[in-house]
């Protein structure tokens, strides 16, 4: 038994060393790409700046591009819906740019993991466990001593994204990254109706019913004084910049910046992936209730 435990311990340290080495290589590549992004001209399509280090898609590159085109004196970020923070929109900002930040997730296990990660002592990072609602988001942020202007806010909670961003008043981010639901299309400014206990997997078995359309987020951005500057290439994240910090960046209409996603993440009633594509995804959630933020009226998909 002692020999088995010793072998497991050796194997653990070997795998840990490999992981650290791989992360160093990835960070080095990210550093080189970030330097290259600094020299980019103003782009017609911000997706051309994409590269991936820790983000789900090419969002690390887009963020690096934007922070070099926009005046940001306060280098603090907030991101929620981060799970264990291994994959996120702000981890590269933390490690490469040495920003400080707050991450929030509803999972106690995920937040405990973050607090045992080396990044937690190596950087000025706060991790908070809470299920986020429109009612508690301002208190969650202010409880961590964060208020006023910050550099970036990333919103990705697969549900009440529109309503939570709308509720935020305690901070004033220069850049906002907000997930949109491409399946909702570009024609209507719609979001799921607000429910404090909204959980994507419980609201509809398909996992396709969540969040807001790009047009709805663009309308909210306009209300809050932001310009829409584009989407990532896979069609799930929209980027907004404060109008008074826009500089040379080009403001886009929702139609100009909308990207139709090709995710095949739909589930059947047994909970298994069934890989619906195109309009089939929309048909799967047809009849579900939505709220039209342009008309102020409830509708159906």
Per residue in 191-204, pLDDT tens? 999 999 999 999 99
Q: Domain of residue 135: give its range.
A: 42-300
- Computed over every residue of the chain, the mean pLDDT equals 93
Residue 11 lies in a domain: no
Nearest in space to 225 (alpha carbons), one of 165, 142, 161: 165
Number of domains in the chain: 1
Q: Count Cβ atoms within 10 A of the Cβ of residue 161 and give its class: 0-12 exposed, 13-18 middle, 19 or more buried.
A: buried
Closest CA to 241 of 170, 160, 162, 177: 177
pLDDT tens-digit readout, 22-52: 566 788 889 999 999 999 999 999 999 999 9
Determine, yes or no, domain membership for 168: yes
Does residue 213 fall inside a structural domain?
yes
Q: What is the rounded end-to-end Cα distance, in angstroms, of the chain?
A: 60
Domain assignment present for residue 7? The answer is: no
In a domain, 35, yes or no: no
- For residue 101, list its beta bridge partners: 77, 125
pTM to 2 decimals? 0.92
Q: Is position 176 within any domain?
A: yes
Query: Looking at residue 112, which CATH number applies to its domain?
Result: 3.40.50.150
Alpha-carbon distance of 95 to 20, in angstroms, equals: 14
Query: Is 68 among the domain residues?
Result: yes
Is 9 among the domain residues?
Answer: no
């Amino acid at each position: 038994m002692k020999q088995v435990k010793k072998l497991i311990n050796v194997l653990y340290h070997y795998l840990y060393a490999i992981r650290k080495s791989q992360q160093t290589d990835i960070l080095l590549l990210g550093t080189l790409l970030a330097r290259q992004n600094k020299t980019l001209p103003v782009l017609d399509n911000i997706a051309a700046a994409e590269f991936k280090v820790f983000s789900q898609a090419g969002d690390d590159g887009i963020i690096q591009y934007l922070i070099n085109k926009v005046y940001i004196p306060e280098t603090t970020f907030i991101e929620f819906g981060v799970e264990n923070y291994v994959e996120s929109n702000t981890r590269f900002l933390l490690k490469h740019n040495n920003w400080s930040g707050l991450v929030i997730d509803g999972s106690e296990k995920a937040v405990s993991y973050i607090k045992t990660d080396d990044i937690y002592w190596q950087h000025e990072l706060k991790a908070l466990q809470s299920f986020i609602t429109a009612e508690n988001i301002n208190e969650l942020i202010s409880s961590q001593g964060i208020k006023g202007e910050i550099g970036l806010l990333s919103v990705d909670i697969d549900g009440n994204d529109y309503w939570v961003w709308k509720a935020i008043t305690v901070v004033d981010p220069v850049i906002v990254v907000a997930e949109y639901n491409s399946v909702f299309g570009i024609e209507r400014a719609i979001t799921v109706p607000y429910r404090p206990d909204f959980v994507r997997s419980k609201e509809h078995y398909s996992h396709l019913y969540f969040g807001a359309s790009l047009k709805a987020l663009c309308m909210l951005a306009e209300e809050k004084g932001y310009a829409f500057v584009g989407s990532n290439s896979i069609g799930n994240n929209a980027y907004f910049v404060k109008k008074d910090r826009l500089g040379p960046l080009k403001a886009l209409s929702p139609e100009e910046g909308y990207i139709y996603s090709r995710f095949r993440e739909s589930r059947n009633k047994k909970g298994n992936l069934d890989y619906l594509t195109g309009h089939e995804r929309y048909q799967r959630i047809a009849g579900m209730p939505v709220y039209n933020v342009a008309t102020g009226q409830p509708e159906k998909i």
